[in-house]
Amino acid sequence: MKFGLFGSAKSAPVNSDIDSAAGYNDWIKFNIEAEKLGYYSTFTVEHHFTGLGQVSASMSLLTFLAAKTHTIRLGTAVMALPWHNPILLAEQASTLDLLSGGRLDLGVGKGYRYNEFNGFNIDMVEAHDRFHDCLNVIYKCWNEKKKWNYKSKYWTFNDVIVEPPCIQKPHPPIWMAAGNEDSIKTVAKQKCNLLLDQFSPISSVIERINIFNDELNKHKIEIKPEIALARAMYIAKDKNEKEEIIQKRLKARENVDKLSERPDGDNKSSIMVHKGKDEAYKGALIGTKNEIIDRLHELKEGGVDYVLLVDNGGGIKGLDRFSNEIMPIFN
């Protein structure tokens, strides 16, 4: 199994964010240490208007981290394409890829939080079409070698050529966040890597992996894209500490859900499905060392070979312990 990191830094003095366990500078130190400990990658989120201090300028943060590291891959999880000018995003991504020596993994998604769509004055109904339109332009940016024009419902570009070129050829790996059946099949048909969320219980994870692999086989895609699964991680010393961490996580999830839910309560995003103790006990890697090892074995048997760990408060000590006591069992 490969192990990377997933999460965010925070700029606000709050303890109620699901992804952010450290301030910006501490997050940089955390990832520098992760590289030394042998972690393969780090993926960071993009969120806006939260009041929780979550990372908003993901590319800027990762570019700074690129200058401080040498081998760890730098991922976005995810850039919500409906909010972005696709050419500006393609330019930022290729610049990061160039400066990092080809370490960018571009994770993209449609977005799912109502407060963000509302803040940008974008109708959530448009998310699907805006996502695919933006992605089409990004591919065009990276593949066209001569000046080109483009016109769609959302974007018009005239006589453009996008620079700089990417180091990775033909472009950085594309990761797509997906959870429902149709979206997972779309990721497979586009031959992109699949990002699975941190909240779903193992039974749902395995079901989603099977849908993805069946679709790849159906279309006879021989070079298999990767699947990465995010999981909250905390190595607890005993049952009481495990329960304490889970309760903190449940509270943080409530705060995120309040930002995400539509006023009519009809948010159909797959990431909103699994909540409460079912998610915290059956989804996260929170527990004693042996409990975490058992859960990882279950995931591995279900087809998971790449896990992105979300720090749930263990910090660098937890990172170090996981790398020394748990990672060797699965490498």
CATH of the domain at 286: 3.20.20.30
Statement: residue 315 has pLDDT above 60? yes
Give me the phi and psi of 34, to 5 degrees please. Answer: -60, -40
> Can you give the C-alpha Rg of the chain in angstroms?
19
Residue 98's pLDDT band, with cuts at 50, 70 and 90, is: very high
**Percent with pLDDT over 70 in the chain:** 94
| Residue (of 92, 262, 274) closest to 172 by Cα position | 92
* Residue 257 C-alpha from the chain's centroid: 17
Say how far apart CA 163 and CA 157 lie, in whole Å. Answer: 15
β-pair type (104-109, 41-44)? unpaired
CA distances from 130 to 2, 76, 192 (A): 33, 19, 18
CA distances from 213 to 88, 191, 230, 252, 297 (A): 33, 11, 18, 33, 20
**Cβ-count burial of 277 within 10 angstroms (0-12 exposed, 13-18 middle, 19+ buried)?**
exposed
Say how far apart CA 261 and CA 308 lie, in whole Å. Answer: 25
- Mean pLDDT, residues 184-207 taken together: 95
| Residue (of 14, 58, 26) closest to 252 by Cα position | 14
Say how far apart CA 228 and CA 231 lie, in whole Å. Answer: 10
Q: Which amino acid is at 87?
A: I
Residue 275's pLDDT band, with cuts at 50, 70 and 90, is: low
pLDDT at 292: 96
Residue 217's pLDDT band, with cuts at 50, 70 and 90, is: very high
Say how far apart CA 180 and CA 227 lie, in whole Å. Answer: 15
pLDDT at 259: 75
Tell me the pLDDT tens digit for each residue of 106-116. 999 999 999 99
Q: pLDDT averaged over the chain?
A: 92
pLDDT at 264: 83
Residue 272's pLDDT band, with cuts at 50, 70 and 90, is: low
Counting Cα atoms < 13 Å in the Cβ hemisphere of 255 gives: 17
Show the 3-state SS of 214-248: HHHHHCCCCCCCCEEEEEEEEECCCHHHHHHHHHH
Residue 10's pLDDT band, with cuts at 50, 70 and 90, is: confident
* Residue 298 C-alpha from the chain's centroid: 22
What is the per-residue burial (b if ≥16 Cβ within 10 Å, else e) of 251-275? Answer: ebbebbeebbbbeeeebebbbbebe
Cis geometry, peptide bond prior to residue 78 (ω within 30 degrees of 0): yes
Residue 86's pLDDT band, with cuts at 50, 70 and 90, is: very high
pLDDT at 256: 74
- Range of the structural domain that residue 128 is part of: 2-330
Give me the phi and psi of 238, to 5 degrees please. Answer: -160, 180
Statement: residue 269 has pLDDT above 90? no
pLDDT at 261: 80
Whose structure tokens read 């779309």? 186
Q: Which amino acid is at 60?
A: S
Statement: residue 122 has pLDDT above 80? yes
pLDDT at 258: 78
pLDDT at 21: 66
Number of domain units in the chain:
1
Tell me the pLDDT tens digit for each residue of 290-307. 999 999 999 999 999 999
Tell me the pLDDT tens digit for each residue of 16-37. 566 766 889 999 999 999 999 9
